[in-house]
Amino acid sequence: MLEKVKRLCDKYYDEMAAFREHLHQYPELSFEEFETAKKVCAFLDKYKIPYKKDIAKTGILAIIEGKKSTSKKCVLLRADMDALPVEEDTNLPYSSKVKGKMHACGHDGHTSGLLGAALILNELKDEFSGTVKIMFQPAEENGGGAKPMIDEGILENPKVDAVFGCHLWGPMLENTAQIVSGEMMAGVDVFDLEFIGKGGHGAHPHTTIDALLMGARFVNNIQAVVSRRIKPVEAGVITVGRIEAGTTYNIIPERSKLQGTVRFLNDETQSILQKSIEDTAKAVALEFGGDYELKYKREYPPLINDEAMAIVARKAFAKVLGEQNLINNAKPDMGAEDFAFLTRARQGAYVFVGISKDLNNPALHHSPHFSWDTKNIKNLMQGDAMMALEFLNS
């Protein structure tokens, strides 16, 4: 089967490479992937692959039925379609033509790689049993398109038994893949915090309640939470990435606004971090005699690979890349991925696929200089197809 997959990959590669470079030139932000979705649907129409569109606004679900037997097994493969609000600076011949928008995380590759896998599986449908669902998802970067697609029923009718996905990964060399069992990526929450004091003249601080000082105290105090509230063998991160306060040098500000992110690998750590942020904000406001407003939002849960599904993914990528090019015992990454909603709903595995030629100068995600060789979509086309076949034929 591998040789047939490789042959079909070669057959469709030129089309998919051109498709990837077109998507790169015309990036669309989260829940705005209308033209991207139209382009995907045009290919599905061309090759007579049935699909449903406009799921969670721009999402697409294609379905390929194996003809070998009447097996009820069903597997889902997923790719994300959205770009980022980044001004590209790569000098690539297919650089973004849309000002302030760029595929700076590889989703153009994910989409074209999965579409190529769909074309491969469509040609092989007489040689496998069961059903493959192909999920093209909006808004991984902002807002999370996986959960609304799940809410609209993509895991039912027929019921999905397993889910698989891949991410092109800059911290790894080309032609390698990382597949771990258990914790793969962190969960993430975000918060907006405003301290409310009493403004006044910088020469008369005793008549004020300094909201800027409250914000500074919060930032300082909250950094002790991870080192003193979380078990040393567990992972947690609290980052305050934005502070806004004041209008000029000699006025003590009445309000300070902070925004931050919280990352964790399990629900217990998440609960501790959230409560600590709430308690610290309250304590700081009480200490200074001011007030506060906190908006805390749960974003994505941790992404946990199922052990049995990780084995399926390893078998697939070992055939594509060679066993010697698999990384099986890496530490979790504290980045977040809304594929986690799929692995919470069904057993599944997520795979990092390397794209860097030199780890001294790796492809840096979310950077205006993010760049990788289009040929790497071959590993996605073959890897996605082989994961589906390994699961359905196991």
User: Which residues form the catalytic set?
Assistant: 82, 140
> 356 — phi, psi (to 5°)?
-90, 140
| Structure tokens, 178 | 């990382």
Which amino acid is it at 385? A
The DSSP secondary-structure symbol of 126 reads G
What is the DSSP code (8-state) at residue 228? H
Task: Find all residues with CB under 8 Å of 171, minimum gap 6, and list them.
Answer: 354, 356, 359, 362
The DSSP call for residue 181 is S
Contact 392/132 with Cβ under 8 angstroms? yes
What residues form DSSP beta bridges with 186? 336
CA atoms of 33 and 23, how far apart (whole Å): 10
Please give the Cα distance from 55 to 50 (Å, whole number): 14
Distance between CA 340 and CA 345 in Å, rounded?
9
How far apart are alpha carbons 154 and 341 in whole angstroms? 12
110 assigned to a ligand binding site: no
User: Annotated binding residue at 204?
Assistant: no
Alpha-carbon gap, residue 195 to 199, rounded angstroms: 12
Helix axes 2-25, 107-123, angle to 10 degrees: 140
Mention every residue, 6+ apart, whose C-beta is less than 8 A from residue 131.
Answer: 63, 64, 65, 66, 73, 74, 75, 158
- Return the structure tokens found at 209: 């309640």
Contact of 220 with 258, CB cutoff 8 Å: no
Is 141 annotated as a binding-site member? Answer: yes
**57: burial class by Cβ within 10 Å (0-12, 13-18, 19+)?**
middle
366 is in an annotated binding site: yes
Tell me the binding residues for Mn(2+).
105, 107, 141, 167, 366
Tell me the binding residues.
105, 107, 141, 167, 366
